[in-house]
Structure 1
């Protein structure tokens, strides 16, 4: 009788384990990759409208790895609409929910200091009718004229606050890494940033609005008052579900050229 009870108990345990599988950590998955080694922009889903020929190109002159990188040069005639100039490619796009996580890294390079504020990366929610820009990264000349700053802010183009500011050295590849913990609650959302392998920010902030899909567009975005031309290079863009997949470099190993 005891043996029969044990057998029944074992059978029930097996059935229950199949019905209720254990919840482990999220499976590692690369959801977007652009290393430009295709020699074109086929790794992206498109480009911003009204870009003039030659203003976004695959380039072999300045690369982080492989044979190619992406070159983005903004001019005053790259008019997206009456309020914006854009030279961008359609990058990572992720479905998020309260408490989910997204990891991104990429390398960027400038031969010359920016002449104006260049927004080079952001996360924005969709769908319309109301888009929601929740965070932005940009480079701009320092106010005292001594160099270039890189900044990160939340809200539309950083209007809810600048949470990190660092030095951007021209003529050198830099890696920016990010771990975004998505939440509408500023006490639960979190942004963790790596700059050239060093953690430079790990802070509770509001990281999402009501939208469930967020997209990003590497390149240059600015308002139309500027007449100057600036160029940014991108290479080795990764977006993934785990930290390991985005290949954060060890500190002080950034390549230069």
Structure 2
């Protein structure tokens, strides 16, 4: 096949690929759905040369990397051919047998750089990673200069891990304190769990008001004390019970509360009706998704804490996909710090019992730390 893909080089050095936020795993072999018939073959994508490439014709063209054995995979670093002049639409899928694949990421390259961009997802055990390209903003070709499969951090639990609140102690001792009317409202349980041996079940009934404040609540508190200039990643898992109330009012399940006593928190995850929201500064919704009951929801939340909206930002991965790219926004109130509250806090008008499960809390300084 004669390629209609432009052949000019990028004027970049042919040296080892530099990747960010990625621990590269060695691939033993690579396959592709096809190529241009003019030398732009699959093996070019791990020759450490940004001036060679693989080019596959048509939307749906794919390239597939075999690691030789099952390993923990947490992302892919991809340097796109002419990545500074066009954006490519693509998905990432993983497989343990080369036959059955699970999609773990869907997104679009930035269109601003020829350097490798890292696309992260919740770590999965798999042997193969497949990149499927559905055209770009110029044509329908798939064209990749270099690609690497990303694995877990070589430091294991991560040297940048700040705190764990995953309940693997079998109690609530990892947390600073509780705000609950009785111990059964924040109960450490062995089932259901998202990971490990324990999770916590948060229950709220109408009238639960352990701190004599507005609303009803039972919450765990961790004095994380985020201050101006701090930057952290947080990972956790939440599941809403199958009978979780459908109420057209607020029901918070995760919040970073300000050190002041009154007013809406600067960052809050909550349910209203049949929708989950992420809201900042008490009024700005930056992300939403339909409420799903009876299934674990996986969150990775990246925050730069600042009262300056041009410095602070939020970034969110939900169920292994980047759903909110970095967005600049104020994440602190001026002159204040934040702390974490997890459980269930809701409008006192809700009569039905509410149950939410939480698991896997970890705070770190990098994406690899929390994966």
Name the TM-score class by shorter chain. 0.7 to 0.9
Partner of 1:136 in structure 2?
268
Partner of 2:186: 56
How big is the shift at 1:185? 2.0
Q: Please state how far the C-alpha of 1:46 moved relative to its aligned partner.
A: 1.2
Query: What pairs up with 1:26-37 in 2 under 5 angstroms?
Result: 28-37=159-168
Deviation digits for residues 99-122 of structure 1 (CA, Å, limit 9, x no counterpart): 331211101112315313320111
Distance (Å, rounded) in 2 between the aligned partners of 1:168 and 1:89: 22
TM-score by length of 1: 0.75
Q: CA deviation at 1:176?
A: 0.9
Aligned pairs for 1:122-133 (under 5 A) are 122-126=255-259, 128=260, 133=265
Higher relative contact order (CA 8 A, sep 6+): 1
CA contact (8 A) 2:257 2:341 kept: no
Q: Deviations over 1:15-71 (max 9, x none)?
A: xxxxxxxxxxxx94222212212221111111015x234111011120112221100
- Out of 339, 346, 359, the position equivalent to 1:222 is 346
- 1:141 is displaced (CA, Å) by 2.6
1:154-169 residue pairs with structure 2 within 5 A?
154-156=280-282, 160-169=283-292
Q: How far apart in 2 are the matches of 1:57 and 1:129?
A: 27
TM-score by length of 2: 0.53
| 3-state DSSP of counterpart to 1:216 | strand
Given the alignment, which residue of 111, 118, 133 partners 2:251?
A: 118
2:315 to 192, 195, 209: 192
- In 2, Cα distance between equivalents of 1:240 and 1:92: 15
Secondary structure of the structure 2 residue equivalent to 1:94: strand
* Aligned residues of 1:132 and 1:209 also touching (Cα < 8 A): no
- Contact 1:114–1:140 under 8 Å retained in 2: no
State the distance in 2 between where 1:170 and 1:129 align. Answer: 32
Cα contact 1:92–1:239 (8 A) shared by 2: no
Q: Does 2:233 align with 1:100?
A: no
Question: Aligned pairs, how many?
Answer: 209
Alignment-derived partner of residue 212 in structure 2:
81
Question: Where in structure 2 are there 5+ consecutive unaligned residues?
Answer: 1-157
CA contact (8 A) 1:113 1:141 kept: no
Deviation, structure 1 residue 169: 2.1
Aligned partner of 2:305 among 179, 182, 186: 182
45 and 100 in structure 1: CA distance in 2 versus 1, 3 angstrom threshold: closer
Match of 2:331 in 1: 207
CA offsets 1:206-232 (integer angstroms, 9 cap, x no match): 111123531011100112121121111
Give the aligned partner of residue 64 of structure 2. none
Match of 1:13 in 2: none
Give the superposed CA RMSD.
2.1
Aligned-pair CA distance for 1:140: 3.2
Matched, 1:40 2:171: yes
Give, in whole Å, the separation in 1 of the partners of 2:230 and 2:170.
34
1:135-179 CA distance string (max 9 Å, x none): 11012332xxxxxx21101123xxx22111112322211111111
Q: Secondary structure at the match of 2:207?
A: coil
* Runs of at least 4 residues off by over 4 Å: 128-132
